[in-house]
Amino acid sequence: MHVDVPAKVQEIYDAVLRRNPGEDEFHQAVREVLDSLAVVLGRHSEYAEMKTIERICEPERQIIFRVPWQDDSGEVQINRGFRVEFNSALGPYKGGLRFHPSVNLGIVKFLGFEQIFKNALTGMPIGGGKGGSDFDPKGRSDAEVMRFCQSFMTELYRHLGEYTDVPAGDIGVGAREIGYLFGQYKRITNRYESGVLTGKGLGWGGALVRTEATGYGAAFFAEAMMDVRGESFDGKRVVVSGSGNVAVYGIEKVHQMGGTAVACSDSSGYVVDEKGIDLDLLKQVKEVERGRIADYAERRGSASFVAGGSIWDVPCDVAIPSATQNELDGDAAGTLAGNGCRYVVEGANMPATPAAVKAFREAGVAFAPGKAANAGGVATSALEMQQNASRDRWTFEHSEARLAEIMRDIHSRCHETAEEYGSPGDLVLGANVAGFLQVAEAVHAHGLI
Ligand code: NDP
């Protein structure tokens, strides 16, 4: 079968736009993958014939539900819950839950779509899914968060199972929320099914290194990128956006590897600390007190707080955007490159806009897409599932060594695939093509389903 590749790619994209109106982030994620897949269609006409890409762009199942709950003042609140079970070619749906007021179907679909390829890159037997709610945990009491989680799980539980769909955390969902969700699942089903959620507490089925995994993994990935160029973190200035789970543990590993993180942020602004971020203080402020990043600057003489503004104005050698999607645009990319930044590693999902990625490419900045660089979290979730299934518990050192090995493997696969497909050094293309090929082969093998 002869395939007019550019026309086919455009046709697929037009159909995605038409069938999913208003879902901008989902369109953006699909466009980025499609742009890489032209080279694959040129070599594999069977994927055009069997509409493999079109099938992967359509979620297997999308669940949207009402989440009613009562706040501390007795007022009834109504949120919306989502779970998009995108693709199960490689294993049960796997991907986090996000609780943030910006959550809508398009955001969940962009995250779920990315998750398919990310999970494939880990080499673990996990499919792709994502979920969440427009609930905002910020400023809510523990009791309110618990009541919300219980109501959320009262609907979601019927769609989950260790062989069906296994959620984890994401923005706004950490160990506290996973605990409440697990408790409600157990209560409704009368089953202690450890493998139904990952990111659990260490005393009840959680795995060591899961908390640290995404941030550590991004740092391991960055190290592999530098290694190819004969460099290391030693002496490098690093800027990490966000101050949540990914950012905190990214900073921790950067410091262990000899780099210095000099800035981090939250949605109200950023701090610059020329002496290097004091991790103990950062953890105290953000994890223990659930405070704001401005509180960090107030308690640390060497730090200053900048309200609003762009953290990407801070000069650095390495940038690790770890807050949220589209937080780094073309202008910010130009500023970073102009200030001498040579590595950008996405800790968050799709934090760099297409214009930013283009600017990095043109400036010769080495760039790692999130679906490769932040895959350490979900890979360690799969290791948690493995430990739950075998009733085993690995040491921190063993788990961290597995994580490091997985991240090096992902980097090698992306690097080698980019070369094989004629774009050496293009880790975006390498990640998209390597992830796609693995999923597509399984989709193909399973017949027309
Ligand atoms: P957290 O909720 O722990 O932290 C998120 C951080 O980003 C906070 O500092 C938050 O600030 C900031 N942030 C969130 N939304 C915005 C926004 N709209 N504008 C500016 N800052 C914002 O989330 P995680 O660290 O878990 O997740 C961060 C990113 O990493 C997300 O893109 C997530 O999808 C991705 N990721 C996470 C994984 C994990 O294992 N946790 C795995 C793979 C990817 P504030 O408190 O002010 O809102």
pLDDT in tens, 142-198: 999 999 999 999 999 999 999 999 999 999 999 999 999 999 999 999 999 999 999
Is the pTM higher than 0.75? yes
Which amino acid type is present at position 14? Answer: D
Among candidate residues 199, 184, 194, the one with its CA nearest the CA of residue 146:
184
pLDDT tens, position by position, 204-230: 999 999 999 999 999 999 999 999 999
Rounded to whole angstroms, the Cα distance separating 106 from 84 reads 10
Buried b (16+ CB within 10 A) or exposed e, 134-150: bbebeebeeebbbbbbb
Does the C-beta of 199 come closer than 6 Å to ligand 1? no
Judge contact between 215 and 252, C-beta under 8 A: yes
- State the angle between helix axes of 105-122 and 24-43 in degrees (0 to 180), rounded to the nearest 10: 40
Judge contact between 128 and 118, C-beta under 8 A: yes
Rounded to whole angstroms, the Cα distance separating 303 from 300 reads 6
Span from the CA of 383 to the centroid of ligand 1 (angstroms): 22
Give the ligand 1 atom nearest the CA of 173: 2
Does the C-beta of 246 come closer than 6 Å to ligand 1? yes
Nearest CA to ligand 1 atom 43: 374
The predicted model gives 263-292 an average pLDDT of: 97
Does the C-beta of 244 come closer than 6 Å to ligand 1? yes
Query: Containing H/E element for 79?
Result: strand 76-87
**Is the pLDDT confidence value at 1 over 90?**
no
Span from the CA of 393 to the centroid of ligand 1 (angstroms): 28
φ/ψ of residue 368, rounded to 5: -115, 125
Judge contact between 99 and 133, C-beta under 8 A: yes
424 falls in which pLDDT band (50, 70, 90)? very high
Q: How many CB atoms lie within 10 A of CB 190?
A: 7
130 among known catalytic residues: yes
Span from the CA of 322 to the centroid of ligand 1 (angstroms): 6
Does the C-beta of 243 come closer than 6 Å to ligand 1? yes
pLDDT attached to residue 358: 98
Rounded to whole angstroms, the Cα distance separating 380 from 126 reads 12
pLDDT tens, position by position, 79-134: 999 999 999 999 999 999 999 999 999 999 999 999 999 999 999 999 999 999 99
Beta bridge partners of 70: 76
Rounded to whole angstroms, the Cα distance separating 367 from 325 reads 16
Residue from 108, 209, 220, 246 to probe ligand 1 pocket by mutation (most atoms less than 8 Å from CB):
246
If 0-12 CB within 10 Å is exposed, 13-18 middle and 19+ buried, where does residue 377 land?
buried
Does the C-beta of 150 come closer than 6 Å to ligand 1? no
Domains of the chain: 5-57 (no CATH), 61-192 (3.40.50.10860), 213-373 (3.40.50.720)
Catalytic residue, from 8, 94, 130, 253: name it: 130
Does the C-beta of 374 come closer than 6 Å to ligand 1? yes
Cβ neighbours of residue 71 closer than 8 Å, sequence gap 6 or more? 77, 140, 144
Nearest CA to ligand 1 atom 15: 324
Nearest CA to ligand 1 atom 7: 323
pLDDT attached to residue 3: 83
Rounded to whole angstroms, the Cα distance separating 228 from 164 reads 39
φ/ψ of residue 68, rounded to 5: -85, 140
Does the C-beta of 95 come closer than 6 Å to ligand 1? no
Span from the CA of 173 to the centroid of ligand 1 (angstroms): 10
Rounded to whole angstroms, the Cα distance separating 304 from 196 reads 43
pLDDT tens, position by position, 294-315: 999 999 999 999 999 999 999 9
Q: Characterize the bridge pairing of strands 318-320 and 237-240.
A: parallel
The percentage of residues in the chain with a pLDDT greater than 70, rounded to a whole number, is: 100
Judge contact between 271 and 255, C-beta under 8 A: no
